[in-house]
Amino acid sequence: MNRLFPLAVFATVFAVVYYGCFVFAFTPARFYPLIGEVSMQDLPRTAGPAMGWYTWIVIGSISALVASVVAYVVPKNAGEKFGAVLSWAAPLAVALWILYVEKHWFFDQAAQ
């Protein structure tokens, strides 16, 4: 098995899970910076804006860590079916897809 294969699995799973949490607004815990509190439920508007980004990072990291540990223990012959270049194709494809979907952050601002 390519020794970098678990890293490629980590990158792929993290990107997919993070983006899925973002798209479907899955934020089981929210951080309210104005009051410095983490809550599992929505607080009143007086608490200020809620941040779900920390939750997405934690969920993505834990999911990717579990997947990369599984990829690490995969038998050698199963891991060798993926070449070094091919194993990084999925993370690259996910990153390019996210850049394409979120391109409005880069190009719409310049038009104004």
Indicate yes or no: pTM above 0.75. no
Q: What is the pLDDT of residue 91?
A: 77
CA angle 63–53–43, rounded 5-degree value: 115
Residue 5 pLDDT level (bands cut at 50, 70, 90): confident
Q: What is the pLDDT of residue 4?
A: 75
Other Cβ atoms less than 10 A from the Cβ of 59: the count is 19
Q: What is the pLDDT of residue 65?
A: 96
- Mapping DSSP to helix (H, G, I), strand (E, B) and coil, where does residue 32 land? strand
Going by C-beta distance under 8 Å and a sequence separation of 6 or more, which residues neighbour residue 15? 60, 91, 94, 95, 98
Q: What is the pLDDT of residue 99?
A: 85
Encode pLDDT of 66-112 as tens digits.
999 998 887 766 656 666 666 677 778 888 888 888 888 777 665 55
Task: In whole angstroms, give the CA distance from residue 39 to residue 81.
Answer: 45
Report residue 44 as tokens.
């009143």
Q: What is the pLDDT of residue 108?
A: 67
Encode pLDDT of 15-42 as tens digits.
889 989 988 989 999 999 999 999 999 8
